[in-house]
Amino acid sequence: MRRPLVCLLLLFCAGICFASYASPPLTFIYCLAVITYMACIFLAEQKPAYIALLFITVFLIGALRYSADNKRPNRQYVLDGPLLSLKRSAQAILYRHLPPVPASIVEAMVLGEKERISPKIYRSMMKTGTVHILVVSGFNVGIVAFLAHLVLKVLRIARKARIFIIVILLIVYCLLTGASNPVIRATIMGNVFLAAYFFKREADIYNSLSIAAGVILLASPRQLFNIGFQLSFASVLALVWLYPKIRPVFRVESLRPRPLKYLGESLLVSFSAWLGTAGIIAFYFKLISPVTVLANIIIVPLAALLTLSGFTLIFIGILLPQLAQSFASVIQLLAILLLQANILLSGLPFACLSLL
């Protein structure tokens, strides 16, 4: 049972070494292999774990590749060409149908390209603590997985093949958006969940979160001191761990009528995420923004709609360019609402306190 696994593992290690020409830290690769192995055992137990192994290893190659890229920026890889042209064509669709300001916002949300976001917008979102919506993260990964699942199901693809294809698509999306920390985290977590679905077992969110953290840290340990890494994991941990803890304290369960209950719940979700990240933000940015709790329940739904419409616009732009204009006007309206809400919120008294 275990021997083919080990053979496969060695094969993959050889593959990774070959792919990275052995100059990036070799030890990490072996550590990664060990973690992969342990994860497979944990996920598969008695079953042959080829698929889980493949899921995670393919991903590791990507993660490593990109962490190595930071040291050698001019390095070209086989996948870079097609990925880049895919990204370019998506960008071209966005900028063809939208004015530059909303296009830059959607571009950051959907394609993870923050270059063209105006610094003024970025800074005002930082003040209200909603800048995380300009980053590709778990929500986007979820959308990609959901859409892929739907399309493949309509095409009547078998369950196991479907999962496999989704995993590959998630990895492609991760690399496409530049493999930043939140995407890598969300993709690894998504892959762990898919692997669990594959073996019909239940995925544990703490386990998947720690696999994600372990893989990222092994690929490049310095990430521990990266602000994005800390914020990304702190916020997820706050949502997963803190939110169920503080929920009974405020008794939102018994709130009536129902809309009030939803409002209370979203306020609490927002509050726990803020609580989890406030310390880090205060330390690095010398800012404390109490308005974040309020801002997130207004801006996150808008941003979610914007992300969804952004994806739709790109697909429509490819399939039916004649219709794209009307989808684009929804995006424009949403972008105006988003910016306006942000301006209003940052203007509130005690919105943002500077610690300097």
Footprint of other proteins (CB under 8 A):
99-102, 118-123, 146, 150, 153-154, 308-309, 312, 323, 325-330, 332-333, 336, 339-340, 343
| Alpha-carbon span 99 to 97, nearest angstrom | 7
CB of 290 to other proteins, least distance (A): 19
CB of 121 to other proteins, least distance (A): 6
CB of 119 to other proteins, least distance (A): 4
Residue with smaller CB distance to other proteins, 99 or 279: 99
Residue with smaller CB distance to other proteins, 102 or 129: 102
Residue with smaller CB distance to other proteins, 10 or 150: 150
CB of 327 to other proteins, least distance (A): 5
3-class secondary-structure state, position 354: strand
Residue with smaller CB distance to other proteins, 89 or 329: 329
Query: 7 Cβ partners below 8 Å, 6+ apart?
Result: none
CB of 324 to other proteins, least distance (A): 9
Where are the alpha helices (H) located in the chain, listed in sequence order?
A: 2-19, 26-44, 50-69, 80-97, 100-106, 119-128, 138-154, 159-176, 181-198, 205-219, 227-237, 243-250, 258-285, 291-319, 324-346
CB of 56 to other proteins, least distance (A): 27
CB of 292 to other proteins, least distance (A): 18
CB of 293 to other proteins, least distance (A): 23
Q: What is the distance of C-alpha 317 from the center of its chain?
A: 24
Residue with smaller CB distance to other proteins, 151 or 246: 151
Residue with smaller CB distance to other proteins, 148 or 213: 148
CB of 151 to other proteins, least distance (A): 10
Residue with smaller CB distance to other proteins, 78 or 155: 155
Q: Could you tell me the two tokens for 127?
A: 């003040």
Conformation bin of residue 251: beta by default, left when phi > 0, alpha when psi is -120 to 50? left
| Alpha-carbon span 66 to 107, nearest angstrom | 20
| Alpha-carbon span 32 to 182, nearest angstrom | 19
Q: Could you tell me the two tokens for 110?
A: 């959907």
Whose CA is closest to 306, among 338, 282, 277, 284? 338
| Alpha-carbon span 19 to 146, nearest angstrom | 31
Q: Which residues of 146-165 are buried (b: 16+ CB within 10 A; e: fewer)?
A: ebbbeebeeeeeeeeebbbb
Residue with smaller CB distance to other proteins, 47 or 114: 114
Residue with smaller CB distance to other proteins, 212 or 306: 306
Whose CA is closest to 338, among 109, 90, 141, 112? 109
Torsion of CA 277, 282, 285, 289, to 10 degrees: 80
